[in-house]
Structure 1
């Protein structure tokens, strides 16, 4: 399977889906292309004026921050070698939220740094990329280019992470993807495991396993996309013999017709952090959540209604998030965003409200 074009990043595909861009609108700028070798660059820039009303603390804060997605620049490489196409991507994600908290000390992290080998067999990816569990849940979130639920006043926003799906934490991995089989695509991977037991001498004798299946079809003008994904791993405290088995299942369905799009997704997990996969002890308690969204595109505009919940025994917390967002395309590379968000979380044991905020976010997004 030869490919003369650069392999689009997961971010580029997600942005294209969320923003309603055509396939070429979010394409990278090609820097070099000759004799089967290409190099391209893509970028994503955004800033929001954010006004947050904290009902519990009885305070109101105004900030200028980035949205749910950080500002990003990515570099893509592709080279045809015989029957194979070798590729690679490195992307650098930076926050602008530290303007005064840490002056001139802007944090940069690398969430994608991988190589790919494409052929008739499909694709093998080696390196660091987003995980497969909850991958489509977040990449097909209608407010991906918006702001979503807030974090700390100077911290990042969370979109619908923790209120409908966990974050597919970028991890070192070896992942195989099948070719497109009449709309069906499968991906399976081994990923660096998280240390989730409690002892000082923990071990993970097997890697983290993740997989995702997606299916797309057009039924009499109705575009359907469905997906299911999951993960499994075990971490053991060698001193006590206690272990934590972590499992997660994500799923969703989107239907679109004539500018109207309806999406429902959810997850259920056990022994798993329902916010993001990190090292740190967890119990084998349950967590689950769902996200329902509707959007309507008319002309250069898109209106989104979104509601999500998560219920996590493992963190003893219940969360809910409601968002109304309006997106306007000035052109294919510039988007204006207006969003109103209501977020609340409470302690499951005491039922006490811990956080209750109303947030207005007004911003602009530039892509190339």
Structure 2
């Protein structure tokens, strides 16, 4: 297959070669990201192989309130773990471009970090005049355009606490719902005059610890994005049934819909997103058993300004969950951040993040310094 003779290195990019998370972060206009150039190798018989990825490292100085009430210093990966993506491309035949994609991810943890080394992507992609089909495990559809905010795309965002050692949570639950990495069959249309859509069938997410639940149908996710020269508009949705085998709880449906957009004028960019979910909370799929299908919502607004190689930004977002009595699960996250592209591939970062909660539990503020190599 891949031979050692006549091997060359190329920085030529094709859109479907980008790592799934990185691709998600640049779906909507107004997101600035470091240059990502795949290093590729080609054999005489037309097979190609390449790799790309990123290594983010952050130093976090945090001041945490109840119930911990302590100061803490830690080194972590931020919202995105260190990532190596390997891509294999078969020769084009019968108008089909067939490729395989594998992604390995590692968090930064003291001591033995084997449990934090995992694969989030393993899939086949088939592209042609009809569009593209992805088969296997990869990034989701619902909420993907919203995750393109500049603050959490290259930053830290929500921190789990003073003992945080795995990837942080960005704006999950405080601005957007997490798409996650799940086995699926997904179709992506061609660009239709600025309009592009995705639809997919996903393995259903299971509620932890609920043995009486059964999942007979796939989760359905879809989105549509319309982009122009300096703006982008999007909407996405999902639905998944959760049934009881013996009737110990009422069958119910998890669902969600969101709307968002971005606009850029010169170096100034503004983007925002608003989402509503039912039966699953404001963070991740199947977060709990919720036969009453309580509502939750997530929204954020972000403004960035780019001056040459420096990007300055501020964003604010909230999450609200009716499942919790009162306002105990309501949160708000503020992020102030700066990015400096020292080179096309090395970005230096600073961030100030503060979390507010409805009952004071888990509040904190943190000063963060970091860097990321993107290749």
What TM-score do you get using the length of structure 2 for normalisation? 0.88
Measured against aligned partners, the alpha-carbon deviations of 1:266-318 in whole angstroms (never above 9, x if no partner) come to: 11011123211247423410001211000000011000100000101135510
Task: Name 1:112's counterpart in structure 2.
Answer: 121
Aligned to 1:179, the other structure's residue is in SS state: coil
Task: Name 2:3's counterpart in structure 1.
Answer: none
Instruction: Evaluate the alpha carbon distance shift between residue 164 and residue 4 of structure 1 in structure 2; reply closer, same or farther with a 3 A threshold.
Output: closer
Q: Does the CA-based 8 Å contact 2:280-2:286 persist in structure 1?
A: no
Query: Which of 236, 247, 263 is the aligned partner of 2:255?
Result: 247
Task: Name 2:342's counterpart in structure 1.
Answer: 330
Query: Which of 268, 276, 300 is the aligned partner of 1:268?
Result: 276
Structure 2: how far apart are the matches of 1:238 and 1:356? 40
Task: Name 1:171's counterpart in structure 2.
Answer: 182
- CA displacement at 1:33 relative to structure 2: 5.5
Aligned to 1:113, the other structure's residue is in SS state: strand
Structure 1: how far apart are the matches of 2:256 and 2:311? 32
Q: Does the CA-based 8 Å contact 2:19-2:52 persist in structure 1?
A: no
Task: Name 1:366's counterpart in structure 2.
Answer: 373
Structure 1: how far apart are the matches of 2:31 and 2:278? 33
Measured against aligned partners, the alpha-carbon deviations of 1:74-99 in whole angstroms (never above 9, x if no partner) come to: 00122212210001211011101x21
Aligned to 2:141, the other structure's residue is in SS state: coil
Task: Name 1:349's counterpart in structure 2.
Answer: none
Instruction: Evaluate the alpha carbon distance shift between residue 83 and residue 163 of structure 1 in structure 2; reply closer, same or farther with a 3 A threshold.
Output: same
Query: Which of 231, 234, 239 is the aligned partner of 1:224?
Result: 231
Over the aligned positions, Cα root-mean-square deviation in angstroms equals 2.2
- Name the one with the larger strand percent: 1
In the TM superposition, 1:1-368 aligns within 5 A as 5=14, 7-14=17-24, 20-21=32-33, 25-32=35-42, 34-56=44-66, 57-79=68-90, 80-96=92-108, 98-100=109-111, 103=112, 105=114, 107-155=116-164, 156-196=167-207, 200-218=211-229, 223-240=230-247, 242-278=250-286, 280-283=288-291, 284-315=293-324, 317-346=329-358, 352-368=359-375
- CA displacement at 1:11 relative to structure 2: 2.5
Of residues 191-200 and 154-163 in structure 1, the stretch that sits farther from structure 2 once superposed is: 191-200
Instruction: Evaluate the alpha carbon distance shift between residue 82 and residue 34 of structure 1 in structure 2; reply closer, same or farther with a 3 A threshold.
Output: farther
Structure 2: how far apart are the matches of 1:33 and 1:238? 54
Q: Does the CA-based 8 Å contact 1:198-1:237 persist in structure 2?
A: no
- CA displacement at 1:246 relative to structure 2: 0.8
Q: Does the CA-based 8 Å contact 2:56-2:82 persist in structure 1?
A: yes
Instruction: Evaluate the alpha carbon distance shift between residue 270 and residue 279 of structure 1 in structure 2; reply closer, same or farther with a 3 A threshold.
Output: closer
Aligned to 2:100, the other structure's residue is in SS state: strand
Structure 1: how far apart are the matches of 2:114 and 2:268? 43
- CA displacement at 1:16 relative to structure 2: 5.6
State the aligned residue count: 352
- CA displacement at 1:39 relative to structure 2: 1.0
Aligned to 1:159, the other structure's residue is in SS state: coil
Q: Does the CA-based 8 Å contact 1:94-1:106 persist in structure 2?
A: no
- Segments of structure 2 that go 5 or more residues without pairing to the other structure are 1-11
Structure 2: how far apart are the matches of 1:210 and 1:170? 13
Structure 2: how far apart are the matches of 1:60 and 1:279? 29
